Structure 1
Amino acid sequence: MTTESDSPEPVHEAADTEADQHWLTPGVGSVAAASFFSDSGHEIATSVLPSFLTSVLHGSAASLGVIEGVSDALTGVAKLIGGPLANDPPRRRVMATGGYLVTALATAAIGLATAVWQVAILRALAWASRGVRSPARDAMLSSLAPQRAYGRAFGLERAGDNLGAVVGPLGAAGLVAWLGIRPAIWFALIPGVLAAIAIGFAAREARRHGNGVRQRIRFDLAGLRGAGLGRPLLPIVLFECGNLASTLLILRATQLFQGQGMSAPSAVSTAILIYAAHNAVAAGVSILGGRWIDQTGPRRVFAAGALVYVLGYAVFAFGPTPWWAILLAFALAGAGIGFAETAESALVAQILPDHLRGSGFGVIGGVQAIGNIVGTVVAGILYTTVSPTAGFLYAAAWMLLSFTGSIVLRVPGGSRRA
C-alpha cells in the first residue's frame, strides 16, 4: 500500500517535529470520545441483534446477513455522497454533529420494532447516518492532528470506537439479564447523545483552528487519482470483501456454545462477553498500529491485519471448538480490524490535501460498501444454505488475497508515510 524506506518530506519539518510532541489536543481527544460514546450505544444493539432478530422476531441467519450487508452498503453509499460535502470545513462540522445524533435515535428505536422489516429500515437509517458523518469526522480529525502523528490520532480514534464496543456489549449483557433483550436496546440512546455533544466540541475546536475557506462541492476523481489514492484501493477492496459483520461472528459463537450443551441465554451472554474481549483487543491494537504507522507507513500494518483475519476465520470455520479457541478467534479478528482500519484512515489523511480528504474518505467508504455486499451477504447465505464452515472459508480466502495484494502492490514515489 505504500513505500517503506523513502525519505519523509522536508516541508515544515521543524514545525512538524514540535507539533509531534503535542498531538493529543482537546480536539483530537473529543473526536475519540465521540467515537467511544457512539460505539458504546450502537454496540448495545449490535450485541443483542442476532438474538433479537432470531429469537424475538423469529428471523433467520440469512435475514441477519442481508440486513447487515445492506446496512453496511448504505453506509458506504452515504460516505460516497457525504465525502465531497465534507471537503468544505464549515459543512463537515454540521454533518458530523447531525450524523451522530440521528444514529443514536435510529439505533435506540430498533427496540420498538415488532417485525424484521422494521429492524431493517431502522438499522439502515442508523448506518446511513454513520456513513454521512464518517468522512466529515475523519476530515475534521485530519485538520486537528499534526501530519507526523496521523497514525496515532487515527489509532486513538479507532481505539475509542473499539473501547465503546467493549462497554456496549458488557452493558448489553447486564441489561439483557436485568430487563430483557428489547428494553436493553432502548438504552443505546444515552451514549449516543453524549457522542453528539463530544463531536460538537471537536467541531468548535476545528472551527477555531480552521481557515474558514469554503470549498466547492465536487467529486474530483482525477484529483484523487493524481494524489495517489488509486493503487492502494485494490488490497482494501479485497480486505472488505472478507470483512464480515460482527453479528455473524456472535451468531457462530452462540451456536458453538449451544452445541457444547449451554442453554440459549448462557450461550448468548458468553458470546457477548467474548465479543467484548474482541473489541478490547482491537482497541489496544489500534494504538499500537497507529504508532507503527507513524514509524513505517500503513502498508505493513494493513498486511498484518489481513493475515491475522485469515487465522481467526480458520478457527471459526472448523468448529466445534473449546471456549478458549473461540476467544482466540475473536481476538485475532479484533487485531485484524484494529490494524486495518487505522491503516486505511491514516493512508487517506497522509496522501491527500485537506480539500480532497472528504472525498477520499468517501471513496474508502464506497469500497467498504462493495466489500460488505460481497462479504457479509454472500457469507450469510453460505452459512445458512451450505454450512458455517463454507461461509468463513469464503471470507478467509478474500483476506488471503488482500494480504498478498498489500505485500505486492506499492505506491510509487511519495513519502515514507504516504
Structure 2
Amino acid sequence: MDASPVPATPPCDPPSGAPRAGRLPFAVRILAWASYFNDVASELVYPLLPTLLTGELGAGRTVLGLIEGIAETVSSVLKPVAGSLSDRWSRRKGFVVVGYGLAAAARPLMGWVSRPWMVLAARTGDRIGKGLRSAPRDAMIADSTPESMRGRAFGLHRALDHLGAATGPLVAFAMLEYFRADLTTVFAASAVPGIVVVLLVGWGVRETRRAGPRAESVDRSPRTGAPIGAVRTGSRALGRPFFAFLAAVLVFSLGNSSDLFVLVRAEEIGVPLAHLPLLWSYFHIVKSVGAYAAGAAVDRLGPRRLVLGGWVVYAVLYAAFAVARSPSQIWGMVALYAVFHALSEPAERALIAHLVGENQRGRAFGWYHFTNGIGALPASLAFGAIYERWGAPFAFGWASSLALIASVIFLTAFGIGSGRRSVQESGAASA
C-alpha cells in the first residue's frame, strides 16, 4: 500500500476553510455537480452524432473520425495553455466558467446544421470550452482537497460526471421515443442544463488561496511519497517521473479512439437506433457507480495499481469488441468497458496531483489532458480508416494492442510490486 505523500507546498485552504473530517470540501461538491449538469447537456447530443453525420448528412466513418479527431485535438492544444495560465495568474475559476459557457452555447447549434463542416465547427466550439476548463478545474479540485482525500474527491467528480452522462441519453431517449421530438429539438434542449452549469460555478465556487507561482515544489516517490532529489522551481518542477507517465499516456491515447465507434459497432451488430441512448446511459451508470468506489480505493491502495488495472481491462474489452456477435454480448461488454473508466480516471488524476507540486498542478493537468487528447486525431482517423477498409476485428484489435504496449511502459516505469525501483527514484539517482 502506498504511504501518504509529503506535501510539496503548504496545503491550500478550501474557500470556506478546512473541511470537516471525512467531508469533502464545498468547492469540490459544487464542481462535481457542475460536471453532472454539463454531461447531461453533452450526452443529450453525443450519442446522436453518428446518426446525424452518417444518416442525416451522408458522411462516412472516416469523416466521423476526422471530425472527432480535429475537435479533440483543438481541445487538447488549449489544455496546457489554460493550465499554465491558471498557475501563472493564480486564478482558475474564470477559465472554468468561460469554458462551460462556450460549450453551453455551441451544442444547440448542431441541431441546425446542413453540412458536415458545420458539425465540425459546432463540435470544435464545444471542445474549445472543454480545453479551457479541464486543467484549471482539476487543479481546483486538487487545490481544495487534502492529500488523504484526493482519490475520493476525484472519484466523486468522475461519479457525478458519469451520472450526468447517464441522465442525458435517458432524456434523449424519452424525447425521441415518447415525445417524438426531432434531432433539432433534442439538440436545442441541451442549452438548459448548460445554463445551470454556468450559474453553479459562477456563483457557487470561490478561488482557493494559494502561494505564488514561483513557490518551491519537490519530486516525490510514487511508492513512498518521500521527497527525492533537489527542490525545483519554475518550468523544471514537473520532473522526469511525470513525463514518463505522460509517455505511457501518449501510447495509450493513440489506441483510444472516440467512443462513438463503440456505438457504431453496437448498431452494426443489431442494437436498435432508439436503444443507443439507453446503451450509452447504461454505460455511464456503471461508470458512475464504479468511479466513486475506485476513488476511495485510490486512497487505500495508491493510484498506480488502479491505472494499470484500468488499462489492462481496456485492452481485454477492445479485443472482445472485435469478436462480438450479438446485442446481448455488446451490453455485457459495455458494462465491463465502464470498469476501465471507473478504475483509471480518478487514479490518473490522483497520480498527477501526487507527482507534482501545488503551484504546478494547472500546468501538469494541462499537459496530461493535452497528451491524452493529442492522440485523438491519429487514433480516431486510423481507427475509422481501418474499420472502413478491413472491418471491426482489425480496428478494435489495433486499439487493444496499443493499450497493452502502454501498460508495459507504465509497469516498466513505475513497477507494481516490491523490489522494483520507480522511475522517480531512478531519476533522482541520476540527478
Name the TM-score, length of structure 1 as normaliser.
0.88
Letter in 2 for 1:189: A
SS of residue paired to 2:244: coil
Matches within 5 A, 1:325-364: 325-364=329-368
Deviates more, 1:115-124 or 1:286-295: 286-295
1:133 equivalent in structure 2: 133
Native 8 Å contact 1:30 1:201 kept in 2 = no
1:210 aligns with 2:209: yes
* Partner of residue 384 from structure 2, selected from 371, 380, 386: 380
Native 8 Å contact 2:4 2:148 kept in 1 = no
Q: Which residues of structure 2 form unaligned runs of 5+? A: 215-232, 415-421, 426-431
1:320-348 CA distances to partner (integer Å, 9 max, x unpaired)? 22x22101221122111222121121112
Deviation at 1:305, TM superposition (A): 0.9
2:223 equivalent in structure 1: none
Deviation at 1:351, TM superposition (A): 2.1
* Partner of residue 373 from structure 2, selected from 369, 379, 403: 369
1:246 equivalent in structure 2: 259
2:222 equivalent in structure 1: none
Letter in 1 for 2:197: A
Kindly indicate which of the two structures has a greater share of residues assigned to helix.
1
Matches within 5 A, 1:295-334: 295-321=300-326, 323-334=327-338
1:235 equivalent in structure 2: 248
1:250-286 CA distances to partner (integer Å, 9 max, x unpaired)? 111011116xxxxxxxx11222211211111111221
CA distance in structure 1 between the partners assigned to 2:234 and 2:335 by the alignment: 39
Matches within 5 A, 1:165-180: 165-177=165-177, 178-180=180-182
Deviation at 1:158, TM superposition (A): 0.8
Deviation at 1:230, TM superposition (A): 1.7
CA distance in structure 2 between the partners assigned to 1:10 and 1:34 by the alignment: 28
Matches within 5 A, 1:140-155: 140-155=140-155
CA distance in structure 1 between the partners assigned to 2:39 and 2:424 by the alignment: 37
Native 8 Å contact 1:23 1:145 kept in 2 = no
* Partner of residue 222 from structure 1, selected from 225, 236, 242: 236
CA distance in structure 2 between the partners assigned to 1:73 and 1:386 by the alignment: 25
1:263 equivalent in structure 2: none
Deviates more, 1:299-308 or 1:178-187: 178-187
2:157 equivalent in structure 1: 157
2:107 equivalent in structure 1: 107
CA distance in structure 2 between the partners assigned to 1:382 and 1:361 by the alignment: 31
CA distance in structure 1 between the partners assigned to 2:4 and 2:197 by the alignment: 39
CA distance in structure 2 between the partners assigned to 1:10 and 1:232 by the alignment: 20
Deviation at 1:356, TM superposition (A): 0.6
1:199 aligns with 2:201: yes
Moved over 6 A (4+): 10-13
CA distance in structure 1 between the partners assigned to 2:153 and 2:89 by the alignment: 19
CA distance in structure 2 between the partners assigned to 1:188 and 1:9 by the alignment: 43
SS of residue paired to 2:6: coil
Deviation at 1:57, TM superposition (A): 1.2
Native 8 Å contact 1:68 1:245 kept in 2 = yes
1:88-119 CA distances to partner (integer Å, 9 max, x unpaired)? 46531111001101111101111111110000
CA distance in structure 1 between the partners assigned to 2:113 and 2:395 by the alignment: 28
1:359-411 CA distances to partner (integer Å, 9 max, x unpaired)? 00110011112221232221011111221211111111111112222322214
CA distance in structure 2 between the partners assigned to 1:20 and 1:371 by the alignment: 41
Native 8 Å contact 1:311 1:329 kept in 2 = no
1:261 equivalent in structure 2: none
CA distance in structure 2 between the partners assigned to 1:229 and 1:167 by the alignment: 35
SS of residue paired to 1:35: helix
SS of residue paired to 1:229: helix
Structure 1 pair 300–169 and aligned structure 2 pair: CA distance change class (3 A): same
Native 8 Å contact 2:237 2:357 kept in 1 = no
CA distance in structure 2 between the partners assigned to 1:358 and 1:409 by the alignment: 24
Native 8 Å contact 1:73 1:369 kept in 2 = yes
